[in-house]
Structure 1
């Protein structure tokens, strides 16, 4: 049973996350010849205050 963990920065609309989970499921199912019903996708949304880019939190970028 494939288990895929995806970490993304918070702030995307639920429908975008749903679409991504569907696309990841399709890709893994096709790549591994695994039934879609056996593919698990877990999405972790990380707060911008906990996501650093170049040493600066994403929340403070562009300020």
Structure 2
């Protein structure tokens, strides 16, 4: 049972998230041989003030 966690900034549409989980599921089944029914995907969204690169929060850009 493969588990995949995708962490990303909030703001994607439901359609984008649907396409993401479909394509990630397809990639996992293709590469591991696991059936799609066994693939679990977690999407963890965070606000821009919870992510910083090089000491600068994304919300400050």
TM-score when normalising by structure 1? 0.91
- 1:43 and 2:40 are equivalent in the alignment: no
Whole-Å Cα distance in 2 between the matches of residues 55 and 21 of structure 1? 31
- Partner residue in 2 for 1:18: 18
What is the RMSD computed on CA atoms of the aligned residues? Answer: 0.7
Would you say how many aligned residue pairs link Structure 1 and Structure 2?
Answer: 61
Consecutive aligned runs of 4 or more in structure 1 exceeding 4 Å deviation: none
Cα separation, 2, equivalents of 1:54 and 1:10: 20
Q: Tell me, which stretches of 5 or more residues in structure 2 are unaligned?
A: none
In structure 1, stretches of 5+ residues that fail to align are: none
Normalising by structure 2, what TM-score?
Answer: 0.94
